[in-house]
């Protein structure tokens, strides 16, 4: 049986955690998630399961551990032929790669709402950006 799942993430960073330096506020990610939901409802592609994560009501929804848990949900039990969709709107970051597959030497990551701004933690970004 073909499975279809979608995970839509939008982080505005409007409620910074005071223990971290704040990434700049973004005004579009929540709107992007709403527009993606609307788009999915108008296309011939249907998704049986759709999860949305935003910091609109609760910033902990887009904290690192919750994002990873939902990424695991997205791929768990997947098989060839399944349709999985990940949509992300928020800050991105580059960190030195741990793999020789990146020509530029950097991995691209997403930035959870609980991530400190990298310059405040020199040499210690292993536990924050998701990538």
Task: Give tens-digit pLDDT for 7-46.
Answer: 999 999 876 555 555 688 899 999 999 999 999 999 888 8
Structure token pair of residue 71: 């990424």
Q: Which residue has the higher pLDDT, 78 or 16?
A: 78
pLDDT at 125 over 50: no
- In sequence order, the β-bridge partners of residue 80 are none
Report the phi/psi class of residue 32: left, alpha or beta, with left for phi > 0 and alpha for psi in -120 to 50. Answer: alpha
| Chain centre to alpha carbon of residue 37 | 16
Task: Give tens-digit pLDDT for 93-116.
Answer: 888 888 778 888 888 889 998 887
Mean pLDDT of the chain: 85
């Amino acid at each position: 049986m073909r499975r279809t799942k979608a995970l839509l993430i939008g982080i505005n960073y409007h409620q910074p955690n005071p223990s971290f330096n704040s990434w700049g506020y973004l005004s579009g990610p929540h709107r992007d998630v709403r527009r993606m939901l609307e788009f999915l409802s108008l296309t011939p592609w249907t998704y049986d399961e759709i999860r949305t994560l935003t910091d609109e009501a609760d910033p902990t929804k887009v904290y690192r551990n919750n994002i990873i848990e939902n990424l695991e949900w997205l791929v768990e039990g997947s098989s060839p032929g399944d349709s999985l969709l990940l949509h992300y709107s928020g800050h991105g970051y580059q960190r030195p790669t741990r793999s020789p597959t990146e020509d530029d030497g950097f991995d691209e990551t997403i930035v959870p709402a609980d991530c400190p701004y990298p310059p405040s933690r020199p040499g210690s970004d292993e536990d924050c950006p998701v990538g």
